[in-house]
Amino acid sequence: MLVVMKAQATPEEIQAVCAHIEQLGYRAHPLPGAQRTAIGITGNQAEADRGNLESLPGVAEVIRVSKAYKLASRDVKEEDTVIRFAGSDAAIGGRDLAVVAGPCSIESREQAFAIAEEVAAAGAQFFRGGAYKPRTSPYAFQGLGLDALKIMAEIREKYGLRIVTEALDTETLDLVAEWADVIQIGARNMQNYSLLKKAGRLRKPVLVKRGLSATLEEFLMAAEYVLSEGNYEVILCERGVRTFADHARNTLDLSIVPAIKRVSHLPILIDPSHGTGRRDSVLPMARAAVAAGADGLMVEVHNHPEAALSDGPQSILPSQFHEMMGEIGQIAPVVLRRLPRGIRVEAAAG
């Protein structure tokens, strides 16, 4: 259920309505909008008892939200969510496209710094790198753990890039949250509800990757788990799903962008690296993602992909990343977006 406050409702009136909702035994989620504040109500198994909510000062109306996802829905919050990062021009969800780039895994300080230097020069605002890796084989490289987190913190200091890295389990979540700017929940963990809930109790942005075979509703319900715990900074990321098609590692479902935009205010990034699994497909799909209205991209970049400890075949070279930035910078204005750090086509020559 949703309480829509009047445009002129005062902060005290909003607070009084929240207190009343909590008294009824539910949880109140005040979500300020450009025109008015809406207060989402969760914690009710069935239709919540409206009590006398409608008669409280400042209340315009009380609406039933019929969708399974509530706080993720545009019914509850009409305006697009924009996630900002203090002390940086980095943002996810606004007019500026957010670009997250870096290796699949942090393999060494030298490797991470060499790649960070290139992606920062090309205009990325975020650096990615796995510290804890979800690998199909238990014998494959599992990540450098805390050492990798420390390397990325140094990269944030040196290049001003915000750090995106995956939390693989509830045991290491707090540690990841301490070092990262955005906590990534991987595709395999999209339905790990205890991990999602715990991430929801943090006050750090959470990037939820779409599960390998998740429907739109399942994807948004994963986001809802984080939101329902009071963390409203959630970013969605499409990274390809399993289909019968075998020309690519996964099938990148770009059609989910307009579908998400229709029903949800949450930003959505596209990951053309895991989405295709092929270096030669990353650039074309990155262009298409921007044209489709995605809020940004997550791309794997490696300076020696042939020697990468994970996801080498889908990692693009720094020179290709420069080229990608030049191209998406030109497509962006067509869809009323822009690359905040400009188009640095000239850098592609380097």
Q: Catalog residues that contact Mn ion under the rule CB under 5 A.
A: 104, 311
Q: Per CB under 6 A, which of residues 238..257 are in contact with ligand PEP? A: 239
Residue 144, token pair as written in the block? 């450098």
Closer CB to Mn ion, 249 or 341, in the complex: 249
**Interface region with ligand PEP, contact rule CB under 6 A, candidates 84-92, 186-194, 198-206, 342-350:** 186-194
Residues 199, 183: Cα–Cα separation, whole Å: 8
**Interface region with ligand PEP, contact rule CB under 6 A, candidates 7-15, 85-93, 181-189, 285-293:** 181-189
Distance of alpha carbon 317 from its chain centroid, rounded? 24
Contact 182, 166 (CB under 8 A): no
Query: Does position 186 bind ligand PEP by CB under 6 A?
Result: yes
Q: How far is the CB of 270 from Mn ion (least distance, A)?
A: 14
Q: How far is the CB of 264 from ligand PEP (least distance, A)?
A: 19
Query: Does position 129 bind ligand PEP by CB under 6 A?
Result: no
Residues 71, 41: Cα–Cα separation, whole Å: 9
In 3D, which of 234, 174, 166, 225 has the Cα closest to residue 197? 225
Contact 95, 338 (CB under 8 A): yes
Instruction: Choose the contact partner of 187 out of Mn ion, ligand PEP, none; CB within 5 to 8 A by kind.
Output: ligand PEP
Instruction: Choose the contact partner of 186 out of Mn ion, ligand PEP, none; CB within 5 to 8 A by kind.
Output: ligand PEP
Q: For ligand PEP, what does the binding mask look like between residues 201 and 220, x meaning CB under 6 A?
A: --------x-----------
Closer CB to ligand PEP, 48 or 298, in the complex: 298
Query: Does position 134 bind ligand PEP by CB under 6 A?
Result: yes
Instruction: Choose the contact partner of 134 out of Mn ion, ligand PEP, none; CB within 5 to 8 A by kind.
Output: ligand PEP
Residue 270, token pair as written in the block? 């596209």
> Which residues, in sequence order, are CB contacts of 187 under 8 Å at separation 6+?
209, 210, 211, 212, 239, 274
Number of amino acids touching ligand PEP (CB under 6 A): 9
Question: Residue 22 to residues 34, 48, 309: CA-CA distances in angstroms?
Answer: 25, 12, 50
Q: How far is the CB of 310 from Mn ion (least distance, A)?
A: 6
Contact 201, 167 (CB under 8 A): no
Query: Does position 322 bind ligand PEP by CB under 6 A?
Result: no
One DSSP character per residue, 194-223 reads HHHHHHHTSSS-EEEEPPTT--HHHHHHHH
Residue numbers at the binding site for ligand PEP (CB under 6 A): 104, 130, 134, 186-188, 209, 239, 274
